[in-house]
Amino acid sequence: AVESVKDLEVLPVLDKDVIRDNYEGFVAATHKGKNIKKATGGSSGVPFRFELDQESNERRQGVMWRGYGNLGAGLGVKSLYLWGANIAPVGAKSALKDKLYHAFYNRKILNSFEMTAYNLGTYVEQINAYKAEAIVSYVNPLVTLADYIIENDITIKSPKSILTGAEPLYEFQREKIERAFRAPVYNTYGCREFMLIGSECKEKNGLHTNIDHLVVELLGDQNKVISEAGVSGDVVVTDLHNYGFPLIRYRNGDRATISSATTCQCGSPFPLLQSIDGRKLDVIKTPD
């Protein structure tokens, strides 16, 4: 029986291709045909398909809103998302449904994938017109916008906080975004398979991992668990609640480092990751 996180170590690590090759075997017999089906973007090649049950979906939404809420971007806060992936409701079929869905969440979505060197001004205009309390964004498009704002000496309507995700946030990028937007920038970390895995708190002291919801292990050579701070390893996640499609010790392709800090001024008991060191997503700029 598995009684502690340590006991997980006897179980094999689950890589994406194992799931791909044995997909039906991962769908719990009790949940066949009832799960919500999802896929990762497939930016690195073949899309990765997985499922989750309804309760797991609700839990992860809750975990996300808790993390975002701690940073001033909680449920219902007027927010602007500068995002590339389509944040669409499950089963959305029309633009109208999409629009209503986001309106109920009190948010506006700007597609970062459509951002070019020539339309940065329209993004600034939309941000200033919308007057969001919080901005949630990929890192790279926000840095591009920050450069544009600083170079052109533009006054932006400051949100109360800015959350970044889906890419590593380096300190020089944080400083630049904070200077352009005159608002604090917080790093969050998640992936499609689990949504929010960890997020910074207002202390900016590393990312608190949501261990009431997910087990997050870092593995080194020969899949040995890393317990010392400052050493980078593969992120391996166990979802404690997705009974419809159990992902146990799933290697998501990212790398991270444990923090040497064992407590945080904010009072959160959730352990800290010092940094997310590598992500599958990156940006390649082409001439156009």
The residues binding Zn ion (CB under 5 A) are 201, 203, 264, 266, 268
Smallest separation (angstroms) from Zn ion to the CB of 182: 23
Smallest separation (angstroms) from Zn ion to the CB of 185: 16
Question: Rounded to 5 degrees, what are φ and ψ at 70?
Answer: -60, -20
Nearer to Zn ion, 240 or 261 (CB): 261
Nearer to Zn ion, 56 or 259 (CB): 259
Smallest separation (angstroms) from Zn ion to the CB of 256: 17
DSSP character at residue 259? -
Nearer to Zn ion, 109 or 162 (CB): 162
Kindly tell me the sign of the dihedral angle through the C-alpha atoms of 89, 95, 101, 105: positive
Smallest separation (angstroms) from Zn ion to the CB of 230: 19
Distance of alpha carbon 120 from alpha carbon 122, whole angstroms: 5
Smallest separation (angstroms) from Zn ion to the CB of 85: 27
Smallest separation (angstroms) from Zn ion to the CB of 268: 5
Which residues have CB under 8 Å from 18's CB, separation 6+? none
| E strand segments, 95-171 | 107-111, 134-138, 161-165
Distance of alpha carbon 126 from alpha carbon 186, whole angstroms: 22
Furthest C-alpha separation in the chain: 62
Smallest separation (angstroms) from Zn ion to the CB of 266: 3
Nearer to Zn ion, 203 or 277 (CB): 203
CA nearest 125: which of 154, 146, 102? 154
Nearer to Zn ion, 52 or 201 (CB): 201
223's tokens: 């899949």
197's tokens: 């895995």
Nearer to Zn ion, 158 or 205 (CB): 205
CA nearest 68: which of 199, 159, 167? 199
Smallest separation (angstroms) from Zn ion to the CB of 202: 7
Nearer to Zn ion, 88 or 266 (CB): 266
β 250-258/185-191 pair status: unpaired
Nearer to Zn ion, 35 or 257 (CB): 257
Angle at 132 between CA 105 and CA 181, to 5 degrees: 140
CA nearest 71: which of 212, 275, 208? 208
Cβ atoms within 10 Å, residue 150: 12
